Amino acid sequence: MILEAGGTWTVFAVSSLRAMASRAGGRKQAAAIDLGAIDRLDTAGALELVRLRQRFPQAALENGKAEHLALIELVASGAAADVPQPQRMGWVMQSLHELGELVMEFFEQTARLLAFFGEVLVVMAGAVRRPRRFRAPSIVTQMREVWILAMPIVGVLTFLIGVVIAYQGVLQLRTFGAETFAVEAVGVSILRELGVLLTAIIVAGRSGSAFTAQLGTMQVNLELDAMRTMALNPIEWLVVPRIVALVLSMPLLVFFGDIVGLLGGAFACMIYLDFTLAQFFNRLRDTIDIWHFWTGMIKAPVFAFVIAAIGCYEGLQVRGSAESVGQQTTRSVVESIFFVVALDALFSVIFLLAGV
């Protein structure tokens, strides 16, 4: 008996081909499979022929075109290849494997971010040589978003932090009869660390995520591709204005947060220590070195650059869907906060070695 295969054997006819092959498989034997009447053949059809041939191991393929026979042999060799089985590991090895993957991903992501930082710095250096490339209206608009509109939330949170620090300082130092030193605790912690760190975290969650969402939405809507088609560099037109705006705005926000945080500490000291506002700030002036203020202000533009660059970078990594926008926005906030805290620790070591 000879089986004849004819017509179109492609992916669009797989269901009908499979039904016919199933009916043919019910027969007892076949000496050959005639391929002369096949007009079109793709890998899906070739796979069905391979399965049909497996049901009749003694059947030979006859009258097939050379390209069809070559495709069938290629599919048959692939189907016969052994599929590697995943190695089973114990929970210890599995945990170490996952930890290694996370570490490698961290270093790879850090390398990609550093490459992006370098690209941004090159574009900014070119803009410094040609100041007209700085888009002042965009910078001013972004400064309004990241500075003016962020002042209420920064003010409220730093005020409350100042109150908490003063209250805890008075509560703990009262045991030693040194509750007046709560003023120094408020001044050092707000000016040196918490003012700039808390402001940076707020900015990362508010402005950094906004940068990612804005650029990510433009990526999904193919607006960035349209800009590249018009020979416009998205980094120069979209990324640099946002970074410059945040670098200029961050020290102003940190200064505002420091003042409001100190006012919160003064408010708590007025309640728990019967200090007047003048007494609080006079003691602060006499006991707090000006370098506590400058150490916080030095960190501000560095944190701003990192937050803005990470937010823009993750926005440019969005691919094709609204879900990707959400994922990259979350990734942006997490990475920004991580790098801000890591840089804060690095600055602390540097200032300690410098004796500041």
pLDDT at 301: 95
Q: Are residues 189 and 65 in the same domain?
A: no
pLDDT at 86: 63
Residues 6+ apart with CB under 8 A from 36: 4, 6, 62, 63, 64
Residue 92 lies in a domain: no
pLDDT at 31: 64
Residue 104 lies in a domain: no
Residue 165 lies in a domain: yes
Residue 179 lies in a domain: yes
Q: Are residues 197 and 141 in the same domain?
A: yes
H or E segment and range at residue 9: strand 2-9
Q: Are residues 320 and 231 in the same domain?
A: yes
pLDDT at 135: 81
Distance between CA 14 and CA 285 in Å, rounded? Answer: 84
Q: Are residues 131 and 273 in the same domain?
A: yes
Q: Are residues 36 and 127 in the same domain?
A: no
Residue 171 lies in a domain: yes
Q: Are residues 148 and 67 in the same domain?
A: no
Name beta bridge partners: 60: 32
pLDDT at 175: 83
Residue 187 lies in a domain: yes
Name beta bridge partners: 192: none
How far apart, in Å, are the Cα atoms of 18 and each of 5, 52, 122, 133, 215? 12, 9, 60, 64, 48
pLDDT at 22: 66
151, with CB counted inside 10 A (0-12, 13-18, 19+), is middle
Q: Are residues 345 and 206 in the same domain?
A: yes
Q: What is the pTM of this model?
A: 0.73
pLDDT at 344: 94
Q: How many domains is the chain built from?
A: 2
- 35 backbone dihedrals φ, ψ, rounded to 5°: -105, 10
pLDDT at 79: 66
pLDDT at 43: 79
Q: Are residues 199 and 318 in the same domain?
A: yes
Mean pLDDT by 10 residues, the chain (356 residues): 72 70 61 74 78 72 77 76 64 85 90 90 86 84 93 94 92 85 90 92 94 92 88 89 94 95 92 87 88 92 95 90 88 94 94 87
pLDDT at 27: 57
Q: Are residues 12 and 127 in the same domain?
A: no
Residue 188 lies in a domain: yes
352, with CB counted inside 10 A (0-12, 13-18, 19+), is exposed
- Classify 64 as helix, strand or coil: coil
Copy the structure tokens of residue 124: 């900014």
Residue 269 lies in a domain: yes
Which residue among 59, 80, 101 closes a domain? 80
User: Quick check: 104 and 96 in contact, CB under 8 A?
Assistant: no
pLDDT at 17: 67
- Domain of residue 229, residue span: 120-354
Which residue among 80, 106, 135 closes a domain? 80
User: From the centroid of its chain, how far is CA 301?
Assistant: 21
pLDDT at 25: 55
